[in-house]
Copies of this chain bind each other. A is one copy, B any other.
């Protein structure tokens, strides 16, 4: 347990995505989790199944720390790879907290919940790395600052870690 005493606050990467996702997206999410863990950062996610479970499984497989911000009142709704379930009982309202608690966000696939999280993140100027998700840049005329498109898991995590370093 000496590891804990070496430093205090964790770098925290938020990973957002849906409960339902294609196998290819789940594979990407798992790799994202693993890459985050290898770089010593913690993962925060929505704590449920699908992309959320895949990213936690990936992180845990590489010895990482996983935090799940659960929408319901029941910590048992967390997927089995969540080590720290934060039980909000606030439904979709928890999406805002997930975004605020992350130093940077990676969106992997995703439906409307993910879109709301991307929007919240961009709203407060947080970097969002987009991996096979909404093509938001097509949805309005002005360019979207802080939204970076990545093509694979490793690149996505590298962009994310660089964004965190730039904050310090």
Contacts and interface: CB of A to CB of B under 8 A. Distances in A.
Interface of A: 1-5, 8-10, 12, 42, 60, 63-65, 67, 69, 73, 75, 78, 80-93, 95-97, 100-101, 111-113, 115-116, 119-120, 122-124, 134-136, 138-140
Contacts of A67: 84, 86
12 contacts: A4-B63, A8-B60, A9-B78, A9-B82, A84-B84, A87-B101, A88-B93, A89-B96, A90-B93, A92-B123, A96-B96, A116-B120
Contacts of A1: 3, 63
A96 B101 contact: no
A90 B97 contact: yes
A144 to B, nearest CB: 9
Residue in A82, A92, A95, A112 whose Cβ sees the most chain B Cβ within 10 Å: A92
B65 A4 contact: yes
A129 B72 CA distance: 25
A50 B89 CA distance: 23
A91 B119 contact: no
A70 to B, nearest CB: 9
Residue in A64, A116, A124 whose Cβ sees the most chain B Cβ within 10 Å: A116
Nearest to A65: B4
Given A4-B83, A138-B139, 18 more contacts: A4-B64, A9-B78, A9-B85, A12-B84, A69-B86, A86-B97, A87-B101, A92-B96, A92-B124, A97-B97, A112-B120, A113-B119, A113-B123, A115-B115, A134-B140, A136-B139, A138-B138, A139-B139
